[in-house]
Structure 1
Amino acid sequence: MSRDEQKAGQDRRQEPPIHGPEAFEAMRRAGRLTAEALDLLMEATVPGVTTEALDRLAYAFAMDHGAYPASLHYRGYPKSICTSINHVVCHGIPNDKPLREGDIVNLDICLIVDGWHGDSSRMAYVGEVSRKAARLCDITYEALMRGIAAIRPGGSTNDIGAAIQTFAEAERCSVVRDFCGHGLGRTYHDAPTVLHYVEPSYDVPLRPGQLFTVEPMINLGRPHVKVLADGWTAVTRDRSLSAQFEHTIGVTETGVEIFTLSPKGLHKPLSVA
């Protein structure tokens, strides 16, 4: 979700909701099924497949498991997943163009399971990819995990942003400012807004029971993006490669729980040149 939309939506509720054990159990089920869907999609992402075919696969998986894709028809979005290729930062719309050897693609899916949302995305390699593309994906995954490791009760959302920004910029990459993580649960987008960089004017305390996503978008070039005429697809202005990883998490009494870990261990792309 865009940073501005998320902040505007929170004007009605500044305090992030606090959830109990039953909600955490529901989020484990939603997160697990979302992760299983991503495992399936990653294995199906090969040269020649279309993102439309991946979208159909995701929809069929959701229907077969009593779930529903949250993005389908959300604010007019036409598909069940987002597929963001190479210089596309986020919200790429699946289509009939085949993926090509060397592409990198972000697969982003949110499944509603018994009314609860599990939201996650991963990068996939299409065949053998360049070393610079692989490096970007490695950096982005590490940035995500460093951001999650910074989550603790008594901390704040700027701890997450600091961990991500410090690492990414030390690797000579940039953090996208225009999109953010968000609270979720029974609601798709809720408080808090989770920025992936430090913003002193906006900092939310972290408390046990909060549920939200961490989903940094990292560019090889500059951080600036633009949204195309379709109203959804965001791309890097300088045409540099972009990558993103996302997990849904819950703040616990002692730290953090990740709900969307891959059951097959496919947290990162499968192969590289």
Structure 2
Amino acid sequence: MTDRLERNDVCWCGSGRKYKKCHAPIENRMANYRSIGYIVPHRRLLKTRQQVEGIRESCQRNIALLNYIEDFVVDGVSTVELDRLILEKTKELKGIPATLNYNGYPKSMCISINDVVCHGIPSNHVYLRKGDIANIDVSTIYNGFFSDSSRMFCVGTVSNEKQRLVDVAKECMELGIAQVKPWGFLGDIGQAVNDHASKNGYSVVREIGGHGIGLGFHEDPWVGFVASKGTGMLLVPGLVFTVEPMINMGSSKVVTDRSDNWTIRTVDGMPSAQWENTVLVTETGYEVLAY
């Protein structure tokens, strides 16, 4: 740790409490874990109470966008029309779409249909059809704080196979989140996700995972969903990150579409499903900030 404080100094987190009564016990415990070789987050990754409140407010708007768009996810709608609606609603909520122009990404949301795993770009030429499953992923900047979440949508009646994939993918996310607790490990999340997916005959995408978020769009840590319990970064109160496993009906292998260098598809053309929420590690467990 840098910027070492004395015990009676005011804590760096802005709580107004003395360091010895606030973050000193946490940071002493972190130092003990580090001394025996564990991966420990830097202090800068731990969000203050004020920062958490700002992220929570951003998350509330982000979830409002997913609630709003649900009624428009119907047979025959173009994906670019859904993007237009998201952009207008984001502005109405006084937010900014975090994806728009991010590293050259051209739209205000991602929509990934059937065999598209993630980063599908809304288009005038792509329409939703009955039987499709689609992930809509929205990210919002509000008062400088970032949020990120996604949901699966079924267009009309979908096949039993697709419905089961969508349901199990949500269960994978929920079981992963349930593993979030102080002084646990990121690998605990990955083990729970991979075990449940495998038990149901599905595979988990390895190359793409969750990420820290809040003061930036993509922060440390990277969150993989094929991992072993007891490994990876230590989960410390104040960490905020996304849990967003991508579950494939077939092979876990994916490929990036060379035509746009964004769209990621399954190599075998089989469907994929994903749910995402933003999670805070608390002193007693976790809080889902975007639900």
For normalisation by structure 2, the TM-score amounts to 0.83
Deviations 1:124-183 (A, max 9, x none): 011111010000000000000000000000100000001100010000000000101000
Q: Which runs of 4+ in 1 moved over 2 A?
A: 13-16, 199-202
Confirm whether residue 170 of structure 1 aligns to residue 199 of structure 2.
yes
1:14 Cα shift? 6.3
| Residue in 2 that maps onto 1:213 | 242
Match of 2:152 among 123, 135, 143: 123
Structure of greater Rg: 2
CA distance in 2, matches of 1:201, 1:120: 26
Match of 2:137 among 96, 105, 108: 108
State whether residues 144 and 245 of structure 1, in contact with CA within 8 Å, keep that contact through their aligned partners in structure 2: yes
Give identity over the alignment, percent: 41
| Residue in 2 that maps onto 1:203 | 232
| Residue in 2 that maps onto 1:5 | none
| Residue in 2 that maps onto 1:236 | 266
- Aligned pairs, how many? 249
State whether residues 86 and 242 of structure 1, in contact with CA within 8 Å, keep that contact through their aligned partners in structure 2: yes
Match of 1:139 among 150, 160, 168: 168
CA distance in 2, matches of 1:141, 1:25: 26
State whether residues 185 and 231 of structure 2, in contact with CA within 8 Å, keep that contact through their aligned partners in structure 1: no
| Residue in 2 that maps onto 1:74 | 102
Partner SS, residue 112 of structure 1: strand
Task: Structure 2 unaligned segments of length 5 or more: list them.
Answer: 1-39
Confirm whether residue 84 of structure 1 aligns to residue 123 of structure 2.
no
Q: RCO greater where, 1 or 2, for CA within 8 Å and sep 6 or more?
A: 1
CA distance in 2, matches of 1:89, 1:109: 15
1:42 Cα shift? 1.8
Partner SS, residue 45 of structure 2: coil
For normalisation by structure 1, the TM-score amounts to 0.89
RMSD: 1.5
**Letter matched to residue 195 of structure 1:** G
1:222 Cα shift? 0.7
State whether residues 41 and 107 of structure 1, in contact with CA within 8 Å, keep that contact through their aligned partners in structure 2: no
Partner SS, residue 121 of structure 1: strand
Deviations 1:175-220 (A, max 9, x none): 0001010001111111111111115896100000001001000000
1:23 Cα shift? 1.3
